[in-house]
Structure 1
Amino acid sequence: MISFVVRLKRRAHFIVRRRDAEGRGEFIGTGVRRRRQARQRLGILIAGFSVVFFLIGARLVQYGIADPPTTSSLGSPTVVASRPDIVDRNGALLATDVNMVSLYADPRRIVDADEVVEKLAQVIPNLDWGETHKRLRSGTAFQWLKRQLTPRQQAAVLALGIPGVGFRPEKRRFYPGGATASHIVGHVNVDNQGLAGMERHLDQQGLSDLRAAGMTGDTPLEPVRLSIDIRVQNIVREVVATAMTTYKAEAAGAVILDVDTGEVLAMASVPDYDPNEPSRTLPDGNVDKEYEKGWFNRVSNATYEMGSTFKSFTLAMGLDEEKITLNSVVDASRPIRMGGFTIRDFKGKNRALTIPEVFQYSSNIGTAAIADMVGIEGHQQFLAKLGLLSKMETEMPGVATPTQPRTWKKINSVTISFGHGVATTPLQTAVAAASLINGGSLVPPTFLRRSREQAKLLSRTVIKDKTSADMRHLYTWNGLKGSGRSAQVEGFNVGGKTGTADKVINGRYANDINFNAFVAAFPMDRPKYVVLSIIDAPKTGEHGGRTAASTAAPMIKSIISRAAPLLGVQPRFGSPNARYSLSDY
């Protein structure tokens, strides 16, 4: 009976539900029940898929508006952080960061290292096959394959579809001016760490420590404003590069200095290099020797015997010690014999000379006589006071230390008086010369912006105001009547002193190889800037000469004639032969 009822129920097209509270029953067909269940299940599926698609869409939107990642999840080298832009005194860009990508590999996921190397070599020129293969077979978690790819190279590698390789965002330093200010700005390595110039100075000021501590990132930093004017810098570099080629010299350089603030407005040394490619190599893999030499800044990182430019300091010493006046006369009628050496004048007058004539004719005999009046100890102390015997303090890394005799004897004092026996940097010589004509204040040089008020706090008085006025007169005198005539620019009243020194080769002076320099100031009626030029071992010069008057002085003339208007110096015509005191500034 029971089995009969069950069979009937299975064949039925309806079911009987229990009665409700009022005792009423309800008959529902099985087809209706199944359709209701299907609709419920479909609703649940639709709701589930909607939630999943909503979550996926929300995540995609989040990825779309988020900043791109700056690091890889792999255990890779130190995070490359942003560096501040470097700009000149007028805000022109000298160095900035550019976003790049670098190619890396996870060697554990590389299936066929040979195939990977062959594919990458098709799109990456100069790929080191051996080194790349070695890295791919290392079995480590992270290996660099190529740093700082171009966008085209990145796209080409992506098209290869190689598993186990990827890209990491990085920073590359870009120098818009190329070699124009390379020795001042410096350069960085592939990890964006400063190696030379002001780039290295920034790291020494704490940027590298912050990076190592993980306290730097992509946040833009305040630009670093230098003291140089890139327009003037371009002129100076062009002049010294042209002089090196024209005069067939080994090297050349120049610097412009503000005499009141100590700011370096321009500084160039050639040969130089392109900081965008500081480690360029020759095809055979050897470092390019010219680029290697180009790293060397001869204006601040090298020392030279500055020749007769030192006579400026000897005469200033005699005037400041009141051993002489501009009206004094010294005997230069015969050579000086001392310690087996004979000291002569180049084209000497063989007569007594006034102090302006000693300066005009660059008399070794007259200058030696003045040094002898002051004495050995006083001479050494005076040069030390001008900062010519100790390492110069400035932001530029790698500044050379001057050399001097261990023990000063009389012969040393005599030769040093006209620029032989002490080697110092050209930049130091320019700084010391600035103190002679700016009223007597020695102002430390700087490659950063500095106001006159800040300079006064850092400066110290090294000579009397009257001595400075006398030196301005001597510079003006030599610019009009002496070797400085080759540097004269009409309207700008250029004064200065040449220096032609025999170059030291293998410990001996070479009579046929010169190191020439010219230190100048302008305008001499109210000096604002000091300009110093150097040229190493010129084989020729103006009118066939090889002295400073034929090489270094014309460089100064070209620099001042082109740069003075950019520096805001107005030409002034009339007699520049007047004397001025500190109150004129």
Structure 2
Amino acid sequence: MSDAAPLRIPLRPLARILHAREKGENPDAIERENLRLRHEEMRDRARVRAEGRILVLGAVFTLAFLTIGVKMWMVAESEPAEPRTSFAGAGIVAQRGDIVDRQGRVLATNLDTYALYAHPHQMVEPERAAEELVEIFPDLDQERLLKDFTGSRRFVWIRRKISPEQRQAVHDMGEPGLLFGPREMRLYPNGAIAAHVLGGAGYGEEGVAAAEIKGTAGVERAFDDYLTDPANGGKPLELSLDLTVQAAAEEVLYGGMRLMNAKGATSILMDAHTGEIISLVSLPDFDPNDRPNPPTEGHPDDSPLFNRAVQGVYELGSTLKIFAAAQALDLGIVGTDTMVDIRGPIRWGRHTIKDFHWYGKELSVADIIIKSSNIGTARLAEGIGINLQKQFLANLGLFEATPVELSEAPSGAPLIQKNWSELTTMTVSFGHGMSISPLHLAAAYATIANDGKRVRPTLLRQTGPQDGPQVISAAAARQSQRLLRQVVTEGTASFADIDFYSIAGKTGTADKPKPTGGYYNDKTISTFASMFPAHDPQYVLIVTLDEAVETSGDEPRRTAGWTAVPVAAELVTRIGPLLGLRPEIAPVPLADITLTSN
């Protein structure tokens, strides 16, 4: 019975009622008294329940405030950081970082604009709207617009980005079914300058209120994660390019390409110690603000999107001869004055190696480079051997795609013969049988200019020189530098012997291969690989012309000495002062100085 609910006392207990009647008392008084006691008991129980509830509620509020207070303290004590938005389900990231040159000048930035779309079910006059939209945007199809506006579609994209003037014109139409969505568009304020480096950007994930800008080529694509990472706090991507030098190089190269009747051209200016690419030009080019579509037919290099500096893999001819000489000097096989038998031609099966001119029975190593003897270079390669030659070229980076920060770089991997025979060793020594890009050549020449230490090309601003591995000895590298200077003063690159700046370099002319196999008889790839100032090389400059021909004489001339060298000389003259290089003034002979006295 202890677990049973307490029994309620009756309001009119019989015993007390009978007893009251016996005494002549009013029984109703007993009922009123019992009713009062019952109400007091009920109030006491209700008060206890209320006090318990208030206590529990107070405990809950106290715990909640303590939890919030601890969380606020933890947030206040933590380091502020923007969350990354790359996880699934995140909103569209609209902001994209700027790209600047080495001086902080803007190469790529964002511009607020609008997209134009339609809700056909909200349109009042779809026919008039279609007609007036075509007047504002002539590239639109009026019939298509009218079909979309009068069909069953409830949403129609019209233009992904429009100018402020176009937005105002659409606004003035007064059509309620035409709506604007906020956008950011990628803007390249310098137009086509550095187009192949920047590449371009377009829209990725897209919504009505925002659109994600994604890189499509060049550094825009290579650094897409960096440029869209909110954790960078809007810090721009700083390139090694110099906008002023880049603009001057493009102007000179374009003039040279036209003057030499070339199909295309490329130039690379590279710091020989830091590996920084100060200028990279590929012509023809394009405006990344209006990037053309990739070609669907024809050869890739017919498109202005083709980056000849990186993707153009060519046999670069005699520019490679200096590597054979440098390695032979480094191994101690020869000295610069060592005489080499150049009697030829050299016959290997059905292949013949011969020189462009007859140079006699023997030449010194220096004259082999100065006069550009194929036979002499092949003899040096024979002395070096297959394995040592392959290892040396690999150490120069000529067996792998360049590590430069461009999305197109992996597609410019060298073309290497699988069966590397003794004949391959000889032909590769003078630039045939192996195809590399002009950027490969720039990096290899930078290694020679850097006293034999490997230099890797980069498009990012550096704070100091690279400390790469020693590919050849400093002594052999300096001997090679002097040989390249003699090529200019005594050999095939005489047009580069200009006033004010001393240039060292090597010419190279190679027949252009046909897509179907074999070589053209009247089309060449002409290259001049150089470094300056010659006495203390600071920069490497590569100029390559595609199908160039100089026509000022009685017969067309296609060799690099007549085509690429004059263009490179003009380039050095123009960009030398922009690089802060002081002109070299030739000393006046003492015999021409007359002493006078006041």
Q: Distance in 1 between matches of 2:451 and 2:299?
A: 44
Where in structure 2 are the equivalents of 1:311-350 lying within 5 Å? Answer: 311-350=321-360
Deviates more, 1:317-326 or 1:461-470: 317-326
1:541 Cα offset (Å): 5.3
**Contact kept? 2:99, 2:238, Cα under 8 Å:** yes
Give 1:270 shift: 0.6
2:442 corresponds, among 423, 430, 445, to 430
1:279 paired with 2:292, answer yes
Aligned to 1:303: 313
TM value normalised by structure 2: 0.77
Alignment deviations for residues 265-303 of structure 1 (CA, whole Å, 9 cap, x no partner): 101111111111113799xxx999999711111011110
Partner of 2:264: 251
1:239 pairs with 2:239: no
1:111-163: CA deviation from partner (whole Å, max 9, x where unpaired): 55444322322333221234434543564554321122222221221122212
- Residues 280 and 287 in structure 1, CA contact (< 8 A), matched pair in contact too: no
Instruction: Provide closer, same or farther for how the CA distance between residues 326 and 264 of structure 1 changes in structure 2, counting only shifts above 3 A.
Output: same
Partner of 1:500: helix, strand, or coil? strand
SS in 1 for 2:216: coil
Paired amino acid for 1:350: G
How far apart, CA to CA, are the structure 2 residues paired with 1:250 and 1:272? 12
The amino acid of 2:484's aligned partner reads Y
Cα-to-partner distance string for 1:415-474 (whole Å, 9 max, x where unaligned):
111000000010110100110121111121111101225x22xx2221111111111111
In the alignment, is the contact (CA less than 8 A) between 1:487 and 1:554 conserved in 2? yes
Rounded Cα–Cα distance in structure 2 between residues aligned with 1:402 and 1:537: 21
User: How far did residue 241 of structure 1 move?
Assistant: 1.1
1:7-59 deviation digits (Å, cap 9, x = unpaired):
xxxxxxxxxxxxxxxxxxxxxxxxxxxxxxxxxxxxxxxxxxxxxxxxxxxxx
* Equivalent residue, structure 2, for 1:409: 421
Task: State the distance in 2 between where 1:264 and 1:281 align.
Answer: 26
Q: Which moved more, 1:140-149 or 1:226-235?
A: 140-149
Provide, for residues 68-126 of structure 1, a one-character-per-residue CA deviation record: whole Å limited to 9, x for no partner. Answer: xxxxxxxxx97461222211111222111111111112234345544432232233322
Q: Is the alpha carbon distance of 1:522 and 1:281 closer, same or farther for their aligned partners in structure 2, counting shifts above 3 Å?
A: closer
Query: Aligned partners of 1:133, 1:81: CA distance in 2, in Å?
Result: 32
1:449 aligns with 461
Q: Partners of 1:467 and 1:569 in 2: how far apart? A: 26
What residue ranges of structure 2 are gaps of 5+ in the alignment?
A: 1-89, 205-212, 588-598
Which letter maps to 1:431? A
Q: Distance in 2 between matches of 1:275 and 1:322?
A: 51
- The separation in 2 between residues aligned to 1:263 and 1:471, in whole angstroms, is 22
1:96 is matched with which residue: 99, 109, 112?
A: 109
Matched, 1:200 2:209: no
Distance 2:300 2:256 in 1: 17
The one-letter code matched in structure 1 to 2:393 is L
Structure 1 contact 281–287 (Cα < 8 Å) conserved:
no
Equivalent residue for 1:512, pick from 504, 513, 522: 522
Aligned 8 A contact 1:80 1:170 in 2: no
Q: Does the CA contact (< 8 Å) of 1:271 and 1:290 recur in 2?
A: no
Distance 1:294 1:527 in 2: 33
Partner of 1:474: 483
- What is the letter of the counterpart of residue 530 of structure 2? A
1:220/1:109 Cα in 2 relative to 1: closer, same or farther (>3 Å)? farther
Q: Secondary structure at the match of 1:392?
A: coil
Aligned counterparts of 1:427 and 1:475: Cα–Cα separation in 2: 19
Q: Quick one: structure 1 residues 541 and 422, their matched pair in 2 at CA, closer, same or farther if it must change by over 3 Å?
A: farther
One-letter amino acid of the counterpart of residue 486, structure 1: F
Residue 547 of structure 2 is aligned with which of 537, 554, 568? 537
> Which moves more between the two structures, 295-304 or 484-493?
484-493
Q: 1:450 to 1:134 in 2, by over 3 A?
A: farther
2:505 is aligned with 1:496: yes
Q: Deviations over 1:326-366 (max 9, x none)?
A: 12110113211112222111113122100110001100000
Q: 1:135 to 1:201 in 2, by over 3 A?
A: farther
Contact 1:541 1:551 in 2 (8 A): no
Q: Which amino acid is the alignment partner of residue 272 of structure 1?
A: D
Q: Are the equivalent residues in 2 in contact too, given 1:305–1:501 (CA < 8 A)?
A: yes
Cα distance between partner residues in 2 of 1:320 and 1:291? 38
Distance verdict in 2 for CA 1:259–1:357, change over 3 Å: same
SS in 2 for 1:466: helix
For residues 402 and 314 of structure 1, the distance between their equivalents in structure 2, rounded to whole angstroms, comes to: 18
Q: Give the 3 Å change call, closer, same or farther, for CA 290–372 of structure 1 in structure 2.
A: closer
1:564 equivalent to 2:576? Answer: yes
Q: Name the residue aligned to 2:136.
A: 123
Q: 1:507 to 1:281 in 2, by over 3 A?
A: closer
Contact kept, 8 Å, 1:514 with 1:546, in 2: the verdict is yes
Q: Which residue is 2:6 aligned to?
A: none
Shift of residue 490, structure 1, vs aligned partner: 1.7
1:262 to 275, 287, 308: 275
Partner amino acid, structure 2, of 1:193? K
Cα separation, 1, equivalents of 2:299 and 2:280: 22
Question: 2:496 corresponds to which letter in structure 1?
Answer: A
Amino acid at match of 1:501: A
**Aligned partner of residue 420 in structure 1, secondary structure:** coil
**Structure 1 segment 35-434 matched on structure 2, within 5 A:** 79=92, 81-110=94-123, 113-136=126-149, 139=152, 142-190=155-203, 192-203=213-224, 205-207=225-227, 210=229, 221-279=234-292, 293-399=303-409, 400-434=412-446
Matching residue's letter, 2:130: V
Equivalent residue of 1:193, what SS?
strand
State the distance in 2 between where 1:190 and 1:427 align.
Answer: 30
> Number of residues paired by the alignment?
486
Match status 1:460 vs 2:469: yes
Question: How many angstroms apart in 1 are the aligned matches of 2:136 and 2:303?
Answer: 33
Please provide the CA RMSD for this pair.
Answer: 2.6
Q: Indicate how the Cα distance of structure 1 residues 377 and 304 shifts in structure 2: closer, same or farther if over 3 A, else same.
A: same
CA deviations over 1:190-228 (Å, ceiling 9, x no partner): 45321111111221x3445x5xxxx69xx9712222111
Q: Is the 8 A contact 2:549 2:563 kept in 1?
A: no
User: 1:243 is aligned with what amino acid?
Assistant: G
Corresponding position of 1:38: none
